[in-house]
């Protein structure tokens, strides 16, 4: 029997990356093997995003390229999954009738059944409103062995006027803490040394649950403490939190947990109180800066990334000046910066005062220049320090790429396998990465003994001293890219 192949393309956020691992896992369990060539694939899957501008155009452009292949090979099955499906549903097959399966974010467990039914009955669609089986419960095929995404909740109960996530992911639903722990323990036994806990609003985890046998609700801080106890795990990351829900208990759990990395993504969105009110964000600029100060006081050396939208409807030059002021005061390590663009289905899309594109572009460039300078200054503080990095693979110009606990990317020469821990000394800085050189022995993620992997010194004694004297323990969820030129249509990596 000829080998069956699948091609999977993923667009969007970390939650989509997580879901794609499950799509790949289902197809692999059914006997398919991956390919990078559409012409070789019996199944082609696009896991879509509804958040970015032109998400629709990207999808239909890709589908258009597949149409001639589908004509030549009618048995090819084309699948569209993800958030755009949840938003558009039957319109996808109306515009592209050669699509065989349309499957929403809540229906991933039905993928194989939908493919079989499409073979026998023709085009299929399953777009439901509620998650019955968490995607994390499905088999997974991960691209790397040392890191795993772990979904702790799906959906969001906030009502930010620019954000389409509640529409396409639904209200928040948390996984039982025992299910999360069982998954993380299993991953650690299989050699995973780093996990990223995922949720649309990850730090409200548990507010829709109760602890068995009591009326108490589990908190995200409880989850961090429990995952921190998993033997064999070396690093814990999480994304994306909401500033309003970054409670003292979460800060304490980060400060106490030696495996919880020292990086937070802390979305600002705007530095103008008037714009924040129009966005329906539940904080104001001074309160945000107070929270940020409390986090930095509790977790020395913590790195902070953020999201900022430029040109939200009604934004004036004074409003934008307020944003620049907060950026100056906050001194973010990195920022996702986006030009606002209206997204159908969001309240902001109908708001008056849409800012002219030329004005938005000019403000965006000013913000990028400011943040680039701050990012470089923050990176320069690391030169001369010793850092532990986790090797991710090959980066720029064929050099090794690793990541510090504070989510800083480090490039260095040499040959080291992904999943290895290296001690490096930082020798040069750039706005978005550091250059390093090997400083001491290599600790492999798979090669270390269980005792070596599990042994961790108390937080105050671990790590190495950074250039400013603070303990530079490193943490990441995803590497934010300052000044990314894409337009912002709903929500960036954070909330």
Helix (H, G, I), strand (E, B) or coil at 44: strand
- Checking if the pLDDT of 484 tops 50, the result is no
- What confidence category does residue 88 fall into, taking pLDDT thresholds of 50, 70 and 90? confident
| Backbone torsions φ then ψ of 173, nearest 5 degrees | -140, 120
pLDDT tens digit sequence for 228-249 = 999 999 999 998 889 998 899 9
pLDDT at 481: 35
How open is the CA angle 422-423-426, to the nearest 5 degrees?
A: 115
pLDDT at 102: 94
Rounded to whole angstroms, how far apart are CA atoms 170 and 105? 10
Rounded to whole angstroms, how far apart are CA atoms 183 and 149? 10
pLDDT at 52: 64
Helix (H, G, I), strand (E, B) or coil at 147: strand
Instruction: Evaluate whether 152 touches 198 at the Cβ level (below 8 Å).
Output: yes
- Checking if the pLDDT of 113 tops 60, the result is yes
pLDDT tens digit sequence for 49-86 = 877 666 777 888 889 999 999 999 999 999 999 888 88
- Percentages of the chain per state (helix, strand, coil), in multiples of 5: 35, 20, 40
- Checking if the pLDDT of 184 tops 50, the result is yes
Kindly report the pTM of this predicted structure. 0.79
Rounded to whole angstroms, how far apart are CA atoms 445 and 472? 20
Q: Which CATH superfamily is domain 144-380 in?
A: tm_1862 like domain (3.80.30.20)
Q: Which residues pair with 339 in a beta bridge?
A: 310, 487
Of 186, 227, 221, 184, which is closest to residue 202 (Cα–Cα)? 221
pLDDT tens digit sequence for 435-464 = 999 986 444 443 333 323 333 333 433 333
pLDDT at 133: 67
pLDDT tens digit sequence for 331-379 = 999 999 999 988 878 899 899 999 999 999 999 999 999 999 999 999 9
pLDDT tens digit sequence for 393-452 = 998 778 999 999 999 999 999 889 999 999 999 999 999 999 999 986 444 443 333 323
Rounded to whole angstroms, how far apart are CA atoms 21 and 132? 18
Percent of the chain with pLDDT strictly greater than 70:
84
Helix 285-298 with 248-256: angle, nearest 10 deg: 30
Topology given in CATH for the domain delimited by 5-126? Rossmann fold (3.40.50)
- Checking if the pLDDT of 217 tops 60, the result is yes
Q: What is the mean pLDDT of residues 294-308?
A: 96
- Checking if the pLDDT of 471 tops 90, the result is no
Domain limits, the chain = 5-126, 144-380, 386-461
Topology given in CATH for the domain delimited by 386-461? OB fold (Dihydrolipoamide Acetyltransferase, E2P) (2.40.50)
Least confident of 252-261, 285-294, 469-478: 469-478
pLDDT at 447: 38
Higher-scoring residue by pLDDT: 12, 85: 85
- What confidence category does residue 284 fall into, taking pLDDT thresholds of 50, 70 and 90? very high
Rounded to whole angstroms, how far apart are CA atoms 101 and 111? 8
Instruction: Evaluate whether 15 touches 48 at the Cβ level (below 8 Å).
Output: no
Rounded to whole angstroms, how far apart are CA atoms 188 and 47? 27
Least confident of 86-95, 106-115, 485-494: 485-494
**Residue with structure tokens 């050099």?**
399
- What confidence category does residue 211 fall into, taking pLDDT thresholds of 50, 70 and 90? low
């Amino acid at each position: 029997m000829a080998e069956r192949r699948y091609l999977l393309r993923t667009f969007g956020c970390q939650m989509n990356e997580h879901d794609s691992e499950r799509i790949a896992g289902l197809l692999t369990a059914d006997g398919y093997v991956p390919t990078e060539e559409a012409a070789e694939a019996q199944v082609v899957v696009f896991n879509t995003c509804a958040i970015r501008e032109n998400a629709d155009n990207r999808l239909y452009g890709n589908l258009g390229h597949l149409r001639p292949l589908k004509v030549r090979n009618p048995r090819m099955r084309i699948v569209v999954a993800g958030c755009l499906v949840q938003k558009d549903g039957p319109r996808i097959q109306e515009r592209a009738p050669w699509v065989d399966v349309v499957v929403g974010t809540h229906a991933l467990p039905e993928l194989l059944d939908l493919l079989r039914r499409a073979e026998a009955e023709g085009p299929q669609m399953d777009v439901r409103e509620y998650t019955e089986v968490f995607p994390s419960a499905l088999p997974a095929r991960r691209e790397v062995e040392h890191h795993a995404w772990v979904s702790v909740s799906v959906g969001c109960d906030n009502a930010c006027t620019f954000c389409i996530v509640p529409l396409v992911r639904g209200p928040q639903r948390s996984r039982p803490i025992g299910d999360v722990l069982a998954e993380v323990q299993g991953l650690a036994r299989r050699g995973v040394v780093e996990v990223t806990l995922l949720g649309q609003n990850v730090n409200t985890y548990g507010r829709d649950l109760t602890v068995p046998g009591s009326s108490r609700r589990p908190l995200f801080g409880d989850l961090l403490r429990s995952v921190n106890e998993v033997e064999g795990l070396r690093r814990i990351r999480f994304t994306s939190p909401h500033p309003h829900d970054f409670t003292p208990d979460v800060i304490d759990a980060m400060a106490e947990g030696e495996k919880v990395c020292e990086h937070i993504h802390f979305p600002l969105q705007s530095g103008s109180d008037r714009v924040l009110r129009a966005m329906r964000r539940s904080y104001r600029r001074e309160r945000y800066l107070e929270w940020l100060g409390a986090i930095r006081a509790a977790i020395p050396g913590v790195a902070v990334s953020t999201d900022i939208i430029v040109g939200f409807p009604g934004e004036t030059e004074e409003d934008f000046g307020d944003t620049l002021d907060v950026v100056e005061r906050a001194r973010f390590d990195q920022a996702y910066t986006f030009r606002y663009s209206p997204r159908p289905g969001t309240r902001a899309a109908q708001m008056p005062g849409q800012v002219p594109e030329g004005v938005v572009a000019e403000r965006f460039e000013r913000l990028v220049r400011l943040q680039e300078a701050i990012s470089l200054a923050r990176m320069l503080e690391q030169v001369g320090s010793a850092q532990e990095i986790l090797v991710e693979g090959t980066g720029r110009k064929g050099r090794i790429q690793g990541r510090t606990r504070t989510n800083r990317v480090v490039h260095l020469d040499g040959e080291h396998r992904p999943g290895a821990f290296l001690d490096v000394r930082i020798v040069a800085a750039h706005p978005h990465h550091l250059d390093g050189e090997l400083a001491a022995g290599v600790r492999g993620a798979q090669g270390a003994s269980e005792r070596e992997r599990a042994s961790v010194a108390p937080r105050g004694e671990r790590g190495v001293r950074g250039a400013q004297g603070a303990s530079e323990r490193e943490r990441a969820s995803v590497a934010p890219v300052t000044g990314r030129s894409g337009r912002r249509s709903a929500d960036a990596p954070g909330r």
